[in-house]
Amino acid sequence: MTQVSENMLPDAEPVEMLLNMGPQHPSTHGVFRMVLWVDGEKVVDVEPHIGYLHRGSEKLCEGEQYHQIITLFDRLDYIANFNNEQVYCRAVEKLMGLEVSERSEYIRVILCELNRIASHMLFIATMGLDAGAMTPSMFCFRGRERIQAVFEAVSGARMMHNYFRIGGLKEDVPDDFVQQVRDLLILIKEDTDESDKLLSFNEIFLARLKDVAVISAEDAIDFGLTGPCLRASGVDYDVRKAAPYSVYDRFDFDVPIGLDGDCWDRYYLRVQEIYQSVRIVEQALDQLPEGEVVSSLGRRLIRPPAGEVYVRAENPRGEIGVYLISDGTDRPYRVKVRPPSFCNLSALRLMLKDCWIADAVVILGALDIVLGEVDR
Amino acid sequence: MPATILLTIGLASFIWIVVGLFIMFTTLSVVVLSLTWLERKVLGRLQRRLGPTRTGPMGLMQPMADALKLILKEDIIPASSEKAIFWVAPIIVVVSAFMIWVTIPGTQNAVIQNLDLGLFYIIAFSVVGILGLVLAGWGSANKYGTLGGLRAAAQLISYEIPIIMVAISVAMLAQSLDMREIVNQQDSYIFFLVQPLGLVIFFIAGLAEVGRTPFDIYFAESEVVGGPFVEYSGAHWSVFFLAEYINTFAIAALTVILFFGGWSGPGLSGDWGIIWFLLKVYLVIMVIFWVRGTFPRLRIDQLMAFAWKVMVPLSFLSVVMTAVYQFYEWPPWSLTAMSVAGLLVVGYLIYKRMTGPSRLAAQVRIRQQELETQRRALSHASTPAGGN
């Protein structure tokens, strides 16, 4: 430890205290661990420790057949399962040159956007809890639970759905799916409005989040931030707009941009994204075509041609990338994931410069990391 | 030693003090149970859920179940803690919380021991509790505990000053520190009408004093994980819990006595006034729960800045206004006018800060629209790249 403090703190004073935050701290969002050097209530430096949730997912992928890997991707970002399933399926489909039916694409987009809403609702809830407000969390968890009820009706599971298949879906959605989602959207808007009115422009909440951990656009790009954390700094970049995949180019939606790149922008951007996702789902429901959804591959073993492919997508937390190498067998040679949470986390040390201990909690909360994805 | 005590105060009053203290402990314990139930229910309704429903009718037995659980739990004392300090800290906190109630009257007669210096005594004892919190934080040999204890010391001592200054201005109005006398002086008009500024300061500082949202900083569970209480469990922790609720009840009772005329109210006379007293106190407590369901938590530097830059000057202002009013023997409405003017100035400043958010919202919206028009113009100029 002496070596670390020599390296990191050239002018270390004996008054500084080493404060271990996590992996059992309630606001490190899982099993993240921060070692903070604090001077009174001020944070002098931070050393993040990850790996407490390391399951070796990428290595596990090499031992599984292509269909089986979908379940592993469910467990990477366990708040946004559908988005992960989609990006993996797209990678294999691109490798095999598979065409996916229109209907499956639309259902995938609907489920992914609903999952984005669920993920952002969880973020608002935890952000409120980090800042000490307990009521918004109740509203948001209620909304998220409603979304998960629809997921359960569709896939049979609240989380870890294992519903997307390479080349299509596991099965068609229930008969009343469209009506269910339409009813759900109304409730989602109500829930979001409720917590938005209570929390977003609350004066104490603003005092806690505004001008905390400001990241300039240049810094955000340098650190490889993506998703809401990047857009909060004013960079207009969303994979759904920059390189539209699936059927995203057929919808009319905005990409919210932040003003200052502080924690409040990172928070409020996600609130606005919920409304945009609602817009996308509404349009997708209107355009939803009839047709087959089950893949023509059936349950056959897949052996994609040897080659490599890189596919990216906009996850709730940022840009996820999947790099897949196939050697022509039924198992991939290598699967590499670029997880958005992990890359966003790299800016933590810059953000925690000269902040208060209470800010450290809020800053980490506004980054919205999921440890399943960081540690893989 | 007991003989000397008996000589000075007499056998009858000694027995009364013992019996009275016993009654007080019992009553306060029942009150705390009722408060925990009420808080769960009120917060539940605020958050659009039911709160406890399964234990007894309307969940009324929930506090009993909680208490039973807490007492039966293992009481863990960390090996590295200072045993003596660790043991004595909860006792200091809870004893000081109970001792305040010795002189708070429920009605003209419902008081254990009325003191001429009642208000002074209450303020003096409420500071003792801070010592217990600091000792608890230090004695548990935990960094979060230490941080929490130091936060508690800074916060509680800072907010003690506005409370004392407001208490002084009320004492000047009543010309007495005797709690019963303060209530009796409010026969013609309650002090809230002449000192609304004092009430606002007292209520906010009171929230900070008992560590209620938005001032629950010294035990903030998302930051210092319970602060001084982090290493406590079982019965020891429940003692802190008890003290916290007794203090909340005490602050509400003091607000009612100092500003809302205590047990006086239409329709009820004599000791039946306790009904009015409890009604008012529970109303104030409902407001405290309401605030808890609404607000996030302040940061420690914002909390201290608020104490020293807003609360302390305002409380001095309220003392000066009361002194001027008393000295020149102006009519009561003049003090009301002065106090309301003070409040209005503060209100205007807060209003200006409150319109900040709506300006911010407008700013955000304009920026969004600009970007969208830009993007649309761009996408018209060049067709977007499609494909996977």
ipTM > 0.90?
A: no
Name the residue facing A254 among B47, B223, B372 (closest C-beta).
Answer: B372
Spatial distance between the Cα atoms of B385 and B388, rounded to a whole number of angstroms: 10
pLDDT tens per residue, range A259-298: 888 888 899 889 989 988 998 999 999 988 888 888 777 7
Residue of A nearest to B42 (CA): A135
Spatial distance between the Cα atoms of A35 and A28, rounded to a whole number of angstroms: 12
Q: Which two tokens stand for residue B335?
A: 């003090």
In which residue are the tokens 């047990």 written?
B263
Task: Tell me the fold of A57-371.
Answer: Cytochrome-c3 Hydrogenase; chain B (1.10.645)
Spatial distance between the Cα atoms of A264 and A262, rounded to a whole number of angstroms: 6
3-state secondary structure B52-115: CCCCCHHHCCHHHHHHHHHHHCCCCCCCCCCHHHHHHHHHHHHHHHHHHCCCCCCCCCCCCCCC
Mark yes or no for CB contact B47/A134 under 8 Å.
Answer: yes
Mark yes or no for CB contact B294/A135 under 8 Å.
Answer: yes
In which residue are the tokens 């699967």 written?
A335
A4 touches chain B (CB under 8 A): no
Residue of A nearest to B218 (CA): A358
Nearest-CA distance A90 → chain B (Å): 8
Spatial distance between the Cα atoms of B333 and B195, rounded to a whole number of angstroms: 10
Nearest CA among A21, A283, A285 for reference residue A150: A285
pTM (global) more than 0.95: no
Nearest-CA distance B133 → chain A (Å): 18
Rg of chain B in Å (alpha carbons): 25
Question: What is the domain partition of chain A in residue ranges?
Answer: 2-49, 57-371
Residue of B nearest to A241 (CA): B384
Mark yes or no for CB contact B223/A272 under 8 Å.
Answer: no
- Predicted confidence at residue A3, as pLDDT, reads 47
Of A10-19, A180-189, B75-84, B254-263, the range with the lowest mean pLDDT is A10-19
A199 touches chain B (CB under 8 A): yes
Count other Cβ atoms within 10 Å, centred on residue B33.
19
Spatial distance between the Cα atoms of A78 and A74, rounded to a whole number of angstroms: 6
Q: Give A-chain residues touching B382 at CB under 8 angstroms.
A: none
Beta strands A164-165 and A42-49, pairing class = unpaired
Mark yes or no for CB contact B213/A358 under 8 Å.
Answer: no
* Cα A127 to chain centroid, rounded: 15
pLDDT tens per residue, range A227-263: 899 988 888 888 888 888 888 888 888 888 888 888 8
- Predicted confidence at residue B20, as pLDDT, reads 82
pLDDT tens per residue, range A299-341: 778 888 888 999 999 999 989 999 999 988 888 999 999 999 9
